[in-house]
Amino acid sequence: MEWSDINEYIIKFWEFRLFIVDGNAITLGKVVVAFFLLVLGYFLSKKFSKQLEARVLSRLDIDPALRYTLHQFSFYGMLIIFTLFILNFLNIPVTVFTVLGGALAIGVGFGSQNIVNNFFSGVIIMIERPVRIGDMIEIGALKGIVEEIGIRSTRVKSQDNTHIVVPNSVFLEQNVLNWTLSDNVVRGHLNIGVAYGSDVQKVRSLLIEAAHRHSKVLDYPKSEVFFLDFGDNALVFQLYYYSHIKNSLE
């Protein structure tokens, strides 16, 4: 087999028509090039978002969670631009996706519903920011600190030092207790029993003094003491104190 024959086979392979979209032939060669362009676009988008984070966002006096959100949007924004460029390279008009809407609906029915749901939930979380990186949250039995918010899922570090990947849709479908949404101060309480016949006022002052002496209890808001119950063998008082959320977990 001569070189001219090999070259002819390569050309036929490269120009092999896979399908036609809106009168434009999509060849195997174009698909191969588009694939490598998409891979290149992915890595360039990653590099762009990292450079934006290092050179611009890190120097701005903004909330870390907002900085992370802008970092994520810069990555996906660049990726969308590369995708549109590739579609243009393949001569596939964007309007073709209106035709593919029915096919997408069928795909949703075959298991992609959760993926699509989590994707759009991630976008909503990044825009509305009901939870942010560093927030202490509680969802059902799960309690921990948000470490990473992705486009599909969120990673939470629990009090047991384990990492749980939570689908983003959970944050919109379930009640989420965010301990640090407005600030990182929480109220805790202790029940203390004292002998019957004790001086109530002295008990109150001693409990408040003990709370103020604790290094992790805040001076403001002030600690408070309330009488709770007549116990079997003691008067039960309840001490309310305030501390930073991280200290309250220790």
Domain boundaries, given as residue ranges, for the chain: 3-99, 136-178, 185-248
Thinking of the domain 185-248, which architecture would CATH place it in? 2-Layer Sandwich (3.30)
What is 136-178's CATH topology? SH3 type barrels. (2.30.30)
* Cα gap 237→197, rounded to integer Å: 14
- Give the Å distances, CA to CA, from 26 to 21, 48, 71, 82: 7, 30, 34, 18
Q: Is the pTM of this model over 0.75?
A: no
Half-sphere exposure of 123 (CA within 13 A, CB side): 9
pLDDT tens across the length of the chain (250 residues): 566 667 777 777 778 887 776 677 778 888 888 889 889 999 999 999 999 988 888 888 777 767 777 888 888 889 888 888 888 877 776 655 555 555 555 554 555 567 778 878 887 887 788 888 888 899 988 989 899 888 788 999 988 889 999 999 999 999 999 988 888 888 888 999 999 999 999 999 999 999 999 988 998 889 999 999 999 899 999 999 999 876 555 5
**Fold match between domain 136-178 and domain 185-248:** no
